[in-house]
Structure 1
Amino acid sequence: MSSVDTALPINLPPGPRAPRAIQGATYLAGRRRALHRTWERYGRAFSLNVPLLGEAVVISDPDLARQLFAAGPEVAGNVEPNLGRILGPGSLFALDGDPHRRHRKILSPPLHGRRMRGYESLIEEEYRREADRWAENHEFPILPSTMRITLNIILRAVFGADGDELEELRVLMPKIVTLGSRLAQFSTATLRRGRFSPWVRYRGLRDRYDSLIRTLIGRALADPDLEERADILALLLRARYEDGESMAHEDIADELLALLTAGHETTANTLAWVVERLRRHPEVLARLVAELDTGDLGFLQQTIWEVQRIRPVIAGVARQVKISRMQLGEWVIPKDRRIIVAFGLMHQDPSVYPDPLSFDPGRFHDRKPDFTAWLPFGGGNRRCIGAEFANLEMRIVLRALLRDFELLPTAERDERWRDRGVAFAPDRGGRVALRRREQRGSAMS
């Protein structure tokens, strides 16, 4: 259990003793590789001291993760600085404690439960719009396609319809995502140096985004059918906190930016990884297609879970100690120290997942993932609010792809991990070769 006993002496796990600059250079040269090597040497808990992260404790033990997530924000809360400096102070990424809970309560309904059914035809339409452009028997990277599919899906789910502003957002959002992901790796002070700094460029993109959102909010408020609309923007404008107060328009803009950014890039990268894995495991692919043709979606879900385990697009999540001392297992961690749950390491631990480097969807045949040992969406009260929506997108897009096309296997080496700043993608974009299926299973048509 976590402790607030200030008499406890600090007891940190071991870690590299190299100077901070050397540790930082190693980490920045390849953070996945650096963390893995440190994990191999020091085990499931180690200390680290690198730029941006600062002094941190890295854990990959499910029991320690469970304890950390249960501690609550008053003991181990949001890190500072956080992605709020990129996505805005009104986004869930910036908030903690009661403000975080209040926003999360308002944002949850559109992304969970029965409302999700209304998105199914939308997802299918956006898949088909993109798939109609694919060339047969010609290898190409699928990541640009999955990026467009997931961006168009979230734009339509958020705003409900097309228009000039949405067309501009389709062009603007990839620029915001790409630059914002890179900026997230550096301190704001560094980024703001000079008139031509990347931060100045980002602020220009953000200003244009804010202008577009103000226009869309104004148009929605003037819509006589606002009460009947089911898009996320309309739902946020109608929603009220427990005290009857509405959400500030600036906060709505920040939350929508977080949804648009996080809600498409991570899902698009995971879809590309699914394609990359299936092409290199023809036995899994054959079983998946056969079961889908009967209308059975169970193995599809297991495949998605397994790809998220073996190729998580986010390497970890973090909390920051808010009390004088926090006891975590055998360790006692001081105030302001970051604790990083490195689930990319946890997912490769043979004591957690037997034969962890094997791509085996069947490992989830008789059990759902344990949310303290399978963490692609994070955990605790800060678990990704769009997890259910993302899972729905992946199921529908993959079901439709394998219904319409034969995915051609390959003997090429595995694609490497490419660091996009926040997320990891296949380094060649998840190259795919397709052939349209002449006959489709009746349950799939």
Structure 2
Amino acid sequence: MTTLPPGPSTPRLMQAVAALTKPGRGFSRARERYGDAFTINSPLFGRALVISDAGEIKQLFQAGADIADNLEPNLGRVLGPGSLFALAGDEHRKQRKLLVPPFHGRRLAAYEQIMEQETLREFATWPQNRQFETLPSMMRITINIILRTVFGAEGAEFEQLRDLLPRLGKLGSLLAVLPVPRVDWGRWSPWGRFRLMREEYDAIIERLIAKAERDGDLDNREDILALLLQARYDDGTAMSHRDIADQLLTLLSAGHETTATTLAWAVERLRRHPDVLRDLTEEARTDGKTLLEASILEIQRTRPVIDMVGRRIRTDQVRLGRWTLPAGMTVLVSIGLIHQDPALFPDPQRFDPHRFVGTKPDLYQWIPFGGGARRCIGAAFATMEMSVVLRTLLREWDLAPTTLPDEPWHSRGIATAPAKGGLAIVRKRTLYDQHATRSADAPTAS
């Protein structure tokens, strides 16, 4: 017999509007009223179970693909049928196996220099001593990094993709959380405009692939496009060009807007915690990274840019913790709610990076990248990128603290960003400033 917890009784359209216009608030109120699990009615998923209990989340993430697999509908609607988001079961496992090598070890380390170059290039355009939004700047940094490390783009293709991909990603992010219309109005509709942009994207990728194959120097390239052209499945077959295009777009989706948004939240959080900002600045100027790594974890805990991940139940009468679920049931994991669980994170509203100093988070409790077999494949890449950008910021610029109220949450479709764009006021550090810091840190003669 199916057993589900109670939940909000408002119509599904009202629940959807609340989720988009007041991200995070609805789930918080539902938890206060119904506890750590409740049932919602969603235009995308229908009746869905929302969970935030650590034990039930762990059980769901550890379940085999025959029990709980890919959430439907998913981002595959906009990223393509060859995307990791669209694939399930063995097909997902085979594609993921091909994509793992670029994000580990030597390959990953090779991208650090590119990350720093693009960060310095963008920071050189920053205004001094006046307030500005950092989110657009962070977006430019992450798109340029991905174009070079993932797409291997340069020249005309680089410029074309740099213009196209932000527009494609912004529209796709909105469409991913909206129902597909039954009537296609062509270029006069959002879906029609998206399809035209996707056709333009596919044509550019075909040119990049043709250029790479014509040059014949794939072994000496580090970009992920080159690696995917050389990758082979267990039976020796290569990826189709369409699947490569889908996976490159998937990596863009997973590593562009979400990373940039987290960096904007980092600016917003650090400006409001001057003690942490001061300690981070001192650490960065001595090439330390312990507090920086902990701060990135705490920023993602307190300001996760993706609010939930999910699974679709595949077999009937599945027992998940206290609940018995029918086949076809959607289970949504609330990242925001588990990150605010006081039993896991004491005083959860407090921004305190020291809670992660000297310890690694439990990946079934700290879940900004999702979890289990479908955890974000680019998590290590994104973490390195955030570390490089913030380290460079702390070394090169003085970031002014503020006593202004926290920036509200703002839904951008898939990601949730600071409503004012992560406002900052900065001053470029001079050589005298850097020398003075080093002198202050140096031991004095007795």
Mark yes or no: TM-score above 0.5: yes
Q: Does 1:107 align with 2:99?
A: yes
2:71 is equivalent to residue 79 of structure 1? yes
Residue 382 of structure 2: aligned partner: 390
More displaced stretch, 78-87 vs 311-320: 78-87
- Kindly state the Cα deviation for residue 80 of structure 1 after the two structures are TM-superposed: 1.7
Structure 2 equivalent of residue 3 of structure 1: none
Structure 1 residue 56: deviation in Å?
A: 0.2
Residue 197 of structure 1 aligns with an amino acid whose one-letter code is: S
8 Å Cα contact 1:140-1:431 kept in structure 2? yes
Equivalent residue for 1:304, pick from 296, 313, 329: 296
Of 320, 326, 337, which residue of structure 2 is paired with 1:345?
337
Does 2:298 align with 1:335? no
Larger CA deviation: 159-168 vs 88-97: 159-168
Letter in 2 for 1:172: L
Distance 2:16 2:251 in 1: 31
For structure 1, the 5+ residue unaligned runs are: 1-8
Q: Percent identity?
A: 53
CA offset at residue 31 of structure 1? Answer: 4.0
Correspondence list, 1:69-218, <5 A: 69-189=61-181, 192-193=184-185, 196-218=188-210
> Where does residue 426 of structure 2 map in the other structure?
434
Contact preservation (8 Å) 2:45, 2:73: no
Cα drift, residue 51 of structure 1: 1.1
8 Å contact from structure 1 (residues 282, 409) kept in 2: yes
Is this contact kept in 2: 1:173–1:261, CA < 8 A?
A: no
2:57 to 58, 62, 65: 65
**1:414 and 2:406 correspond:** yes
Measure, in 2, the Cα distance between the counterparts of 1:338 and 1:13.
Answer: 14
Query: Over residues 53-112 of structure 1, what are the superposed CA-to-partner deviations in whole Å (9 max), with x where a residue is unaligned?
Result: 211000001110100011111100102221101000000000011111111111111111
Closer, same or farther: CA 399–360 of 1 in aligned 2, 3 Å: same
Q: Tell me if the contact between 1:20 and 1:51 (Cα under 8 Å) persists in the aligned partners.
A: yes
Query: Deviation digits for residues 229-268 of structure 1, max 9, x if unmatched?
Result: 2211110000101111111110000000111222111000
Deviations 1:377-429 (A, max 9, x none): 00000000000000000111111111000000111111011100000111010
Paired amino acid for 1:314: I
User: Could you tell me whether the CA contact under 8 Å between 2:212 and 2:218 is conserved in 1?
Assistant: yes
Which whole-Å CA distance do the structure 2 matches of 1:435 and 1:369 have between them? 34
Distance 1:196 1:288 in 2: 49
Query: Once the 2 structures are TM-superposed, how far is the Cα of residue 16 of structure 1 from its aligned partner?
Result: 2.1
Q: What is the Cα deviation at residue 17 of structure 1?
A: 3.0
Q: Which runs of 4+ in 1 moved over 6 A?
A: none
Structure 1 residues 160 and 21: CA distance shift in structure 2, 3 A:
closer
TM-score in terms of structure 1 length: 0.95
1:183/1:191 contact within 8 Å kept: no
> CA separation in 1, counterparts of 2:21 and 2:123?
36
Cα offset for 1:343? 1.2
1:326-354 alpha-carbon deviations (Å, 9 max, x no partner):
10011101111100010111111111211
Displacement of 1:225 in angstroms is: 1.3
- Closer, same or farther: CA 393–21 of 1 in aligned 2, 3 Å: closer
Offset from partner CA, 1:112-152 (integer Å, 9 cap, x none): 12211111110010001101111111110000110000000
Q: C-alpha distance in 2, partners of 1:432/1:72?
A: 45
Go from structure 1 to structure 2 and tell me whether the alpha carbon gap of 1:340 and 1:437 turns closer, same or farther (over 3 Å shift): same
Q: Could you say which residue in structure 1 is the equivalent of 2:444?
A: none
**What is residue 401 of structure 1 aligned with on the other side?**
393
State the AA in 1 paired with 2:37: A
Contact 2:153 2:208 survives alignment (8 Å): no
Q: Which of 226, 236, 242 pairs up with 2:228?
A: 236
Match of 2:237 in 1: 245
State the 1:194 CA deviation: 6.1
Quick one: which of 212, 217, 222 aligns to 2:214?
222
Q: Kindly tell me: are residues 413 and 120 of structure 1, through their superposed partners in 2, closer, same or farther at Cα, counting changes over 3 Å? A: same
**How far apart are the structure 1 equivalents of 2:206 and 2:153?**
16
Alignment of 1:273 with 2:265, yes or no, is yes
Instruction: Show the counterpart of 1:4.
Output: none
| CA-based RMSD | 1.6
- Give the equivalent residue in structure 2 for 1:292: 284
